[in-house]
Amino acid sequence: MTSRIDRRFAATAAEGRPALVTFLMAGDPDPETSLGIVKALPAAGADLIELGMPFSDPMADGPAIQVAGQRALRAGQTMKKTLALVRAFREEDGETPIILMGYYNPIYSWGNEAFLDDARAAGVDGLIIVDLPPEADDELCIPAMERGINFIRLAAPTTDDRRLPTVLANTSGFVYYVSILGVTGSAAPDTAKVAEAVTRIKRHTILPVAVGFGVRTAEQAAAIGRTADGVVVGSALVNAVRDSLDASGGATERTIPAVTALVADLAAGVRAARAEAAE
């Protein structure tokens, strides 16, 4: 059975371009505005949507996403509200894949099996759980697969050819290549090295490979999209949310347009990726 994620990557590949994967924090800056942002993403050019599940201790995230999570938690975001957000989005959009990304403890606290059932019912297509390596596949990855939820694995520059098969074994949907050594939103990735790594990963899998951590601009998205099947942008988008807020941290009428404008720009970038190469 193909998933929404499989179908979406097949569609963008058929168009001869990489997919744009957008990350935003669920509940940032408040539940209502967050839903407004997510609903506006597909029309602005997002192909897949990653939603961060806010966590008090985001060990793999840089300052931008750390602060986005704190804004969401301060505004009262909970796992229940995050699933409600997905459900509300799904009522209007049956095709754009939604992937929840975050850390294991809020899921473990909910109860793994109950969480997977509730996430599936809400319309979640995939999970990226930063602190669940393949050594812990029996915890959540395999139960997720059994329910038809894709478990998307991160591969890092430190994941060598010897380890890649372990990382890829139970991965589905796509592979998320972490383009740098570091936390989200830090140094800009070296495009040549990323291309080399994507080619290396593709020798081990037929799954699409998306690249993220440190991609901010349409130009970077275009450059990385020459070899990658997808480009993930997160910190730049949550910073667009931050920059649109009023002095007390509340949403303004600029908040949703600020995000959609950047998404549209990035969407143009991924559409130009192979067009330029073909010229």
Partner 1 sequence: MTALPNTMRGGPDDRGFFGLYGGRFVAETLMPLILELETAYEAAKADPDYRAELDNLNTHYAGRPSPLYFAERLTAELGGAKIYFKRDELNHTGSHKINNCLGQILLARRMGKTRIIAETGAGQHGVATATVAARFGLPCVVYMGKTDVERQKPNVFRMKLLGAEIVPVTAGAGTLKDAMNEALRDWVTNVEDTYYLIGTAAGPHPYPAMVRDFQSVIGAEAREQMMAMEGRLPDALVACIGGGSNAIGLFHPFLDDKDVAIYGVEAGGHGLDVENGHASSMSGGRPGVLHGNRTYLLQDDDGQILEGHSISAGLDYPGVGPEHSWLRDTGRVTYVPATDKEALDAFEMLTRLEGIIPALEPAHALAYVTKLAPTMDKDQIILMNLCGRGDKDVFTVATALGMDI
Catalytic residue annotation? 50, 61
| Structure-token pair, residue 8 | 């979406």
Residue closer to partner 1 by CB (options 45, 185) is: 185
Residue closer to partner 1 by CB (options 96, 239) is: 239
Task: State the CB neighbour count (10 A cutoff) for residue 129.
Answer: 24
Residue closer to partner 1 by CB (options 36, 157) is: 157
Sign of the alpha-carbon dihedral angle for 180, 184, 186, 189: positive
| Structure-token pair, residue 102 | 């975050």
Instruction: Give the integer Cα–Cα distance in Å for 40 and 136.
Output: 36
Return the SS3 of 170. coil
Residue closer to partner 1 by CB (options 79, 241) is: 79
Binding site residues, partner 1, CB under 8 A: 55-60, 62, 66, 73, 78-80, 103-110, 130-133, 135-136, 153-160, 163, 167, 178, 181-183, 186
What is the nearest approach in angstroms of partner 1 to the Cβ of residue 4?
24
In the chain, alpha helices (H): 4-14, 31-44, 63-74, 79-90, 104-110, 112-122, 141-146, 164-168, 191-202, 218-224, 235-243, 255-278
Q: Answer for the pair 20, 230: CB distance below 8 angstroms, yes or no.
A: yes
Tell me the CA distances in angstroms from 265 to 99, 105, 188, 197, 217, one per residue in order. 22, 35, 18, 26, 8
Residue closer to partner 1 by CB (options 232, 266) is: 232
Residue closer to partner 1 by CB (options 182, 257) is: 182
- Per residue, the 3-state secondary structure of 31-46, as one string, reads HHHHHHHHHHHHHHCC
What is the nearest approach in angstroms of partner 1 to the Cβ of residue 173?
16
| Structure-token pair, residue 124 | 């979640």
Return the SS3 of 257. helix
